[in-house]
Amino acid sequence: MRSFRHRRLTTLVALTAILVTAAPPTAASADAGRRAGYHRVGYFTQWGIYGRAFPVKKLDTSGAASRLTHVNYAFGNVSEDGRCQVDGGPGEGDAWADYQRPVPAEESVDGVGDTWGEPLNGNFGQLAKLKARHPDLKVMISLGGWTWSTYFSNAARTDASRRAFVASCIDLYLKGNLPVLDGGSGGPGAAAGVFDGVDLDWEWPNWPGEPGNVVRPEDRENFTKLLAEFRRQLDAYGRQNRRYYSLTAFLPANPAAMDAGYEGRKIFRYLDFATVQGYDFHGAWETVTNQQSALRVPAGAPDGPDFSVQVAIDSWIARGAPRGRLVLGIPYYGQGWTGVTGGGNGLFQPAAGPAPATFGPGYEDYRRLKPLTDSGFTVHRDLRAGHAWLFDGTTLWTYDDPAVVLRKTRYIRRTGLAGAMMWSLDGDDDNATLTRTISLGLAIR
């Protein structure tokens, strides 16, 4: 058995190396995954242009854009009175990053720098340029997220509030009627054509999320009604300009949250597809090291029942979700602990606290975890459960590397899912290694 497992690992790693180090593909081969019909949905974070130095241009130069079907822009905010808003006020948004910042030529997709006060600068302007270079790429505005789901319940509460909320989102993002900022950026129609649909990232209906979120028992039914209103208004607006606007949603991995907040089968009457959380099963908020994104629950896991990709997907299918419209979320980051005791390979052992990291304790991008294999960390793998972790005797990071990602594309194909989602694109390395692996893995027949 040990020899068999070793051969499987050797073959897997060798295939991954071939996929991600091959010569740059032709235009035809770069679209192989698209022709296979799988969605490849990457989140681009508004704030990634700062500490991570990840402008929209990197999606093009790394090769990621040609391997994606959708870019989800994270995030749009929801105001207390239930409206889509872009505001530069504290905690309300970052209009500077969205459409005011003059992007210099060296960061611009087409090499042309912005001029102060143009109607569409910043990330929105760069996304428009990216779409011009990749006409098949769809860009979605993702609403909410962990931090900005506070007032979703207010927006979804009544027929009137739902109509007003959806109308405000369409006006702001699809019609592109941006608030005029100091210097002149924004204005009527400034962002028209940038976004091709709406992604709802309400975390979570009728279930605790970030402290302070408004939560109501009726959120479950109101989420379905909100989707219906989005679909109605998106279709009506699409008929005006002969376009189809997509509607997607981000869904939880926790079966209890599924039951509390979602009418399983009903929501897929309105969704083009849904992305399913495939990560954060465990993390540095816990005092014992564990996996954050395993395909299956590992043998010896201390929690029962436990979370895994298979548990999440099977739970949604059992609740009526069509497997052909479920997109699996894959993390481009790791969860980490330090002060790990107990010996062995470090897994399922007590820890003193979160591992030190670049942008937040216990959370590190793949691009920064990748070099650790050359600095005293050993890669450990559980082939049956489908996960990997790094351990140096004191610090442990659970993460997805190309070998794990390739296993997950095989799972997507064999399970009949709709594709893969990545949180988030700025966590990949400069060669888009993980995104390339996903695209090519989904293209395997």
- The predicted pLDDT at position 257 comes to 98
- Burial letters for 40-59: b for 16+ Cβ neighbours within 10 Å, e otherwise? bbbbbbbebbeebebbbbbb
Is 399 a residue whose pLDDT tops 70?
yes
- Just list the catalytic residues: 203
- The predicted pLDDT at position 369 comes to 98
* Pairing state between β 387-391 and 396-399: antiparallel
Tokens 């909100």 belong to 226
Is 25 a residue whose pLDDT tops 60?
no
pLDDT category of residue 23 using cuts at 50, 70 and 90: very low
- The predicted pLDDT at position 181 comes to 94
CA angle 402, 405, 410 (to 5 degrees): 125
Q: What confidence tens digit (pLDDT) does each residue in 40-92 have?
A: 999 999 999 999 999 999 999 999 999 999 999 999 999 999 999 987 666 67
Assess contact for 104 and 113: CB atoms under 8 A: yes
Report the top-level CATH class of 34-332+400-443: alpha beta
Is 424 a residue whose pLDDT tops 90?
yes
pLDDT category of residue 27 using cuts at 50, 70 and 90: very low
Is 30 a residue whose pLDDT tops 90?
no
HSE, CB side, 13 Å, CA atoms: give it for residue 151. 16
Domain extents in the chain: 34-332+400-443
- The predicted pLDDT at position 86 comes to 87
- The predicted pLDDT at position 90 comes to 66
Give the span between the Cα atoms of 4 and 276, in whole angstroms. 32
Say which residues have a Cβ less than 8 Å from residue 381's Cβ, sequence separation at least 6.
9, 387, 388, 403, 404
Is 6 a residue whose pLDDT tops 70?
no
In this structure, of 31-45, 65-79, 323-337, 368-382, the range with the lowest mean pLDDT score is 31-45
Once rounded to an integer, what is the mean pLDDT over residues 91-105? Answer: 93
- The predicted pLDDT at position 87 comes to 74
Q: Output the pTM of the full model.
A: 0.93
Is 20 a residue whose pLDDT tops 80?
no
- The predicted pLDDT at position 174 comes to 98
For the chain, what is the mean pLDDT? 92
Is 104 a residue whose pLDDT tops 80?
yes
Give the span between the Cα atoms of 20 and 405, in whole angstroms. 12
CA-to-CA dists, residue 176 to 86, 102, 112, 139, 372, angstroms: 11, 18, 22, 13, 44
